[in-house]
Structure 1
Amino acid sequence: MDKATKAPESTADPGPLRDPLELLDTSRLLSGEERDIQASVRGFLADRVRPHLGRWFEEAHFPRDLVPELGKLGLLGMHLEGYGCAGTNATSYGLACLELEAADSALRSFVSVQGSLSMYSIRRYGSEEQRRLWLPRLASGTAIGCFGLTEPDFGSDPANMRTRAVRVGSDWILNGSKQWITNGSIADVATVWAATEEGIRGFLVPRGTPGFTATDIGHKQSLRASITSALSFDDVRLPASAQLPEARGLGAPLSCLNEARFGILFGAVGAARDCLQTALSYADARVQFGRPISSFQLTQRKLADMAVALNTSMLLALHLGRLKDAGRIRPEQVSVGKLNNVRQAIAIARECRTILGANGISLDYSPLRHANNLESVLTYEGTEEIHTLVVGQALTGQSAYR
């Protein structure tokens, strides 16, 4: 055999990896505090969440009783400063999202909406009175928030939203509807975006406000353990103090979405890691033709390709985390992360299902549940097509949305 074609020599067999992210030893890129936060979240989920995931998905049940526990862990608005928020760096928040989505996308979605949409919108654009009223309660989990931007006819094109707010004296009258709103029917306060004569503005609408109703959306095949709602506003009268004073124009809600997308690009890595761990464990235990299927070349090809894609996604997520911590991240860079990592995660989930064979359709195993959930993740906070166009515009300077 030619020397150049020989397999690499190894002095010792290290055995199988416990975590496919050990392939590139990415944990060495984290600080001790970041590793501790990640381990704390993973331990909580192993104890309180993982034993119930299949049942929650099958029964379309959101474990609302966990919300105060998430608050106690400091996960709600954890990357925000003050008002009871933990004030961690962005990378730590991303790692928490990774672990949450490794369990189920519904949990990461809840934390993302609570912290990066509801709480961020109040922290960034609200008055001091609004911050003091809502943020400590939202951070502790004693209150729940939601974020109303998407409408039945306007998802990727929010600039043309039909929800309207009109001034009547010092008050506002709000009319319209929102669709696909995570946490909608259980939220104590909704951040709602509406068109006004002054452009798009944001409003805080508390639960129980006359004319405000929320109805759950059922018959879902994805994100079944998450509450998804339609919001309706019928002549909802709001005081001037309900308006987010610093939110002016479409850039305000889009900046909130960018915060949520950052959590998603880490979360997708978690879902993919869980799928690959499941497939690795199964392939080692499943015996066919007298050997574990992990010893067959075709299976190893699948596992190797997925591990490379997973570790590449993790490196991208960590790089973007460092850029965000340095205050240098740009929206198109977040789009690169969301586009690549969700795309890779859903491909990994589907491939892992094939390794499990017929057992892969059972809720005893996670890959198909993750694949179903990732179909929603692929669409929300900007579809794959929209993020492709964001990247395309950054490369060419040309907008191709219309």
Structure 2
Amino acid sequence: MMKITTLLWTFLFCISTQLQAHEGHTHPQKSSLAVSLAFDATGRLWRVGVQDGFVVVDASADNGKSFTQPVRINAQSQKVGADGEARPKIAVGPEGNLYVTWTEGLKAPFSGYIWFARSVNQGKTFEPSMLVHQDKAEITHRFDSLNVNSKGKITVTWVDKRDLIAAKAAGKPYEGAAIYYAVSENKGSSFSAEQKLADSSCECCRIALTNKPDGTVVAMWRHVFEGSERDHMMAEIPVNHQLPAPKRATFGRWKVDGCPHHGAALASGGEGAAWWGYHMAWFDGGNDDAGGKATLYYARMDGEAWVSSPAKKFGNMKKQAGHPALATMGDDVWLVWREKDGGKHQVWLMKSSDAGKSWDKPKLLSETAGVADYPVLLQKDKQMFLLWNTSVDGLKALAI
């Protein structure tokens, strides 16, 4: 009993430290394990990270065993957010263009700009970077997420505090931050003026993005509901001047005055005419003082009725299970997450062959000593890969 209690208090301490930090996961990094990855149509693996204030991109033709010489993107050194939930992002367009976004930290606390750059020559060079948003105030524009759909439409989302500042100036209450987005219909030559997707988002959790079969972009984020309940919201990115229609996606009713730095995972369910909705995975802290009810959850979300299936618990919370990733091919679903055990970081896997209705038993997929990043799932042709950046073993790529 004493051992179990100690483990629970250790877990609670870790969560409390994150909540007190509130927005501390965007500290500028000299270098970091926090990278983003993408396969292109030829099977090359592209990687974006940070080195000495520069966003750098390199490529691997052997699934991460070796990489080309890094190419710098930003002309001048910046304070680039590259830790935990905040990191540069990379995506490959259907025509082969490379697209990269990142957050530059500014002088004011927790402020930032979202930058974008593209390469139209297979990563040999990148064009001059541009700000995604037209608002130039030195405020929070951070936690960028990047999506490129099958038609080449580019969508960038981020956490933004302009509405909080305006509300304070007017003496009005305002919870959290807001989700904003900007869209490029011309392969990144320019972006439309940014639009607001929703008010009252959590301040420092990543925004998960996926696509419906028709290319519609769908976002999921941690939201501040009435009473400081930190559950999740979902919304389609509007097209043709439609109004946003956010829907509540989770109902844990976790009450906490702080940000857990623990974003959700999201994947589309079904392909083509067989599309039915979304797979979701997320962290919930529970509402007990000992942290014993904190857990990871998985559920299916109906894409038409916006009703979720009963949430399924997964992960060993005594080993600080967290930061899940989801990927699908047809009815096959892969769900991975990170745990810590005996000084080692581990990645665990559950697989479903019936679109998330039932699951195989969890199994240990990989482990490493030292520090490790969050696990990533990427599809290459008809093969799914776990990609995992570690301090001791480097970038690990496992076919699963």
Normalised-by-shorter TM-score class: under 0.3
TM-score by length of 2: 0.28
Higher relative contact order (CA 8 A, sep 6+): 1
Structure with bigger gyration radius: 1
* Structure (1/2) with the larger helix percentage: 1
TM-score by length of 1: 0.28
